[in-house]
Structure 1
Amino acid sequence: MTAALPTAWRSVLPHLRTPMPPDRTPESAGGSAVSVNLPMELVRQSVLEREYWQIPAEVADAYRRFRPTPLWRATGFERAVGARVPVYVKYEGGNISGSHKLNTALAQAHYYRKAGVRELVTGTGAGQWGTALAAACALFGLRCKVFMVGSSLRRKPYRGVLMRMLGAEVHSSPSGLTRISAEPADRIGNSLSLAIGEAVEYAAGHEGAAFSIGSGETYSILHQSVIGLEAREQLAAEAADIDAVVGCVGAGSNFGGIALPFFAESAASAAGGEPPLLVAAESSTAPKLTRGVYAYDKTDATGSGPMEAMYTIGSDYRIPDAHSAGLRFHGAAKVISALRHSGDIAATAVTQKDALAAGRLLTLHEGVLPAPESGHALAAAARLAAGGTDGMRARRGVLVCVSGHGYLDLAAYEQLLDGGLEDEAPDGPALLAAVSGLAPVGAEREAAASGRPLPTAAGAWS
């Protein structure tokens, strides 16, 4: 199914039921907040209730090398999972990074270069984001430094090689190059939070460098709207009818990219039509949307960035090791969290066994090898199409985003084939401890109105 390359990104901010809660800026030990060198255009894209944002010409030119991306009806997958309704796949793995992450990496490299930045620094889990940023920096003439979660880099060494091929400097996290990496393990939270924290610290201490993040920020989700905008046009061209949209969620850029344009279109429609069921498929090892609390939490292990209102399992929670690497983040993006809180999106948790099994079915019956992260969305889509999951069911059709390819994730599939894949359930007491000190969103207002003490998020955890 073909589509034209969108000329503008589409924001969901004008259509939120209530404004997102404001960020809280923490104080560093020295008494002042750490400065994040963010271009003003990205700031505006994060806060202004403007619906359409023109895609810069040089970003559009870079997009044309791999966009529009393909969408097709996955009839072989439908038969394999016993689907009662059509399943349509939108595939984002056909670029140098192997994932949807390149959509925002190119945009960010453009804006940072215009702002005079010479080096972009980031943290990455599975490596898709690090690869995407390395590719974007190479195209726009910027240096790139990547801190990659050590366990992921050991499993996927060729991710590191590809980043280096693209000119990036790659460090296994904890790296020993930063103050935060020298902290005791029980004080630095989960592994992706640490890698991001290392990048934040390094960028703040080096002139001409800036921290860049690929998933949780509102502007990065905006850039990903090209996925859903293309998908809507492709489905319309074939008169394909869907009533459910599924994407995987680490912090939320893939899910936001495929799903939120459908929400925005429905909200903007004069007819006031209902949007499709929008389902965020997360890892059962990091179940922020299904088991987390809506509270203020830090976004990285340094705690120097803003405290954001998010669904979270606690930034200090030690997330069990799993092949869902790109989804192993403690919180959901604040715009995704706000939509979850208002009841506009749904969520389901998927084990890595189910995710990789669904990925294998797509490989066998559609000839496409998906990333393990994408397998979570495929498993959720299969359940919706075959009869329902968690009280949700598709009655006309399902659109699912395959966020990237799995050619550098074959070790995970090898474990599946050899029967050595095990799932570790989240530790209930540890989850409770990780959220116990967090402030629930709106707690101050409720406490002031009632005269009762300020509650903690632990009271909302289940």
Structure 2
Amino acid sequence: MYSPHIRLDAKDVPRRWYNSRKDLPEELPPPRDPEGTDSRIQKIREITPKTLQEQDVMEERWLDIPEEILEKYLVIGRPTPLYRARNLERYLDTPARIYFKREDLLCTGSFKPNTSLAQAYYVKKEGYKGVVTQTGAGQWGTSVALACAQYGLSCTVFMPEVSFNQKPYRRIHSQIFGAEFLPSPSRHTKSGRALLEKMPDHPGSVNSGISDALEFAMENEGICYLNGSNAMHTLLHNTVIGLETEVQLKLAGEKPDVLIACVGGGSNLGGFMMPFLKDRLQNKLRFLAVESTAAPRLTQGTYRYEHGDPGKLTPLNKAYTLGTDFVPPRMHVGGLRQHGGSPLVSLLRHLGYLEAVAYEQSDVFACGRIFTKVEGILPAPETCHAIKGVFHEAYEAKEEGKERVIVACFSGHGFLDLEGYEAVLFGNDQNNQN
């Protein structure tokens, strides 16, 4: 009997992370301090684990994964299956063959534990007592909460006010692990109060959470700051996604024509696509990033140096940005509500190796509903963007009458996002039009 799942054994979990810096067509632009000093860079270094800083600039192509992290990867559900969506192929009446890498099957429901467990491991080794971070939709926050519980660390998470209210079950899940969630902009920080003075009903964003979290770490001894998406070490740890996918496609006898992922900061996209970088540079396949029209940094932003947070506590990084003053609307795709993204993802976009499209919230939720009805799998709102991209590629293949192998990262499930589905698909949601 045919199984749609292409599975790997426990022994097949990648034992090394892949560092794409070695193979990039150009060097990544280094961070800068706006005042011409290293003051901001130094402040960030003081609250970030040294091992992670070293991984951000490492030159070696491969980094061995510590045995303890490998063991925890097995516990959370690695390796994840590659899924052939045959029902969707029939529904779309396309000659394309469609595959999804099922990161939603990890224990917190998303790909985020790939790096949260690794980061917490290094935090514990370096003697910190706890961590602080920001989260968008809550997937990262929940995964950090899990990792901190595993290593006996305190955990504080700043979450955009709009997501804090829209997604209570992600907060509750994280609180079970022992984490404290706080809405952002926060009245507990100087940067948060400044944003609220300018805009009392500020909805918050991933970037406002960065300001809150950095300030919290700077003012609390023994607490370090963790980054869930933009930093090179987060992409490094997540390359287990693409490394497994590479093996699974070979087992299926397939060569991908296009890889698709939703994009906010860039960690699921980078982890999924970077192991295929050499093929992309040789024009053997395409990379497609799908973002929200509510925060269209890759499609409408500018490629320049900018702060990562509205409080301007971070150094300047070169990436596509909508500017630190950008305030995203109160829509339900919390993980994609950022003014800027990963320098690595932005560089590939700037050089023409990464295509990008933006879709509206109502369209992507509609695609998510179709996918759920056809395949029986409920995607997260962020993942719905990748699915919308798959629909477009499948329809193109149908129009051309040509086969096409489409592979997408199914970054998370939507069981804790049902309120968003209800509001957008069945309610009178004022945030329906991004």
TM (norm. structure 1) is 0.86
Match among 358, 361, 370 for residue 370 of structure 2: 361
Deviation at 1:27, TM superposition (A): 5.2
2:318 pairs with 1:309: yes
Task: Show the 5 A alignment for 1:274-313.
Answer: 274-313=283-322
CA distance 1:421–1:277, change in 2 (3 Å): farther
CA contact (8 A) 1:13 1:51 kept: yes
Match among 368, 386, 396 for residue 404 of structure 2: 396
Return the letter of the residue paired with 1:165.
I
1:166-224 CA-partner distances (Å, limit 9, x unpaired): 01111122231111111144489952211121011000111100110110101101111
SS in 1 for 2:13: coil
**What's 2:146 paired with?**
135
**What's 1:206 paired with?**
220
Deviation at 1:95, TM superposition (A): 2.5
**What's 1:75 paired with?**
86
**What's 1:226 paired with?**
240
Report the Cα distance in structure 2 between the residues aligned to 1:215 and 1:2, rounded to whole angstroms.
Answer: 27
> Please, what is the CA RMSD of the aligned residues?
2.5
Task: Show the 5 A alignment for 1:7-86.
Answer: 7-26=15-34, 34-36=43-45, 37-65=47-75, 66-86=77-97
**What's 1:161 paired with?**
172
Report the Cα distance in structure 1 between the residues aligned to 2:397 and 2:48, rounded to whole angstroms.
Answer: 42
Task: Show the 5 A alignment for 1:44-443.
Answer: 44-65=54-75, 66-185=77-196, 186=198, 191-264=205-278, 273-387=282-396, 395-418=403-426, 420-421=428-429
CA contact (8 A) 1:384 1:392 kept: no
SS in 2 for 1:210: strand
Report the Cα distance in structure 2 between the residues aligned to 1:106 and 1:343, rounded to whole angstroms.
Answer: 33
SS in 1 for 2:119: helix
1:419-438 CA-partner distances (Å, limit 9, x unpaired): 53566777xxxxxxxxxxxx
CA contact (8 A) 2:365 2:424 kept: yes
How many residues of Structure 1 are paired with residues of Structure 2 in the alignment? 420
CA distance 1:395–1:306, change in 2 (3 Å): farther
Report the Cα distance in structure 2 between the residues aligned to 1:279 and 1:226, rounded to whole angstroms.
Answer: 19
**What's 1:437 paired with?**
none
**What's 1:2 paired with?**
7
Report the Cα distance in structure 2 between the residues aligned to 1:392 and 1:130, rounded to whole angstroms.
Answer: 43
CA contact (8 A) 1:26 1:303 kept: no
CA distance 1:216–1:290, change in 2 (3 Å): same
Identity of aligned residues (%): 38
Report the Cα distance in structure 2 between the residues aligned to 1:417 and 1:367, rounded to whole angstroms.
Answer: 17
Instruction: Give 1 or 2: higher helix fraction.
Output: 2
> For structure 2, which runs of at least 5 residues remain unmatched after alignment?
1-5
CA contact (8 A) 1:359 1:369 kept: yes
SS in 2 for 1:420: coil
TM (norm. structure 2) is 0.91
CA contact (8 A) 1:71 1:231 kept: yes
Report the Cα distance in structure 1 between the residues aligned to 2:203 and 2:302, rounded to whole angstroms.
Answer: 17
SS in 1 for 2:338: coil
SS in 1 for 2:30: coil
> For structure 1, which runs of at least 5 residues remain unmatched after alignment?
268-272, 427-462
**What's 1:431 paired with?**
none
1:215-255 CA-partner distances (Å, limit 9, x unpaired): 01011011111111111111110102320000010010011
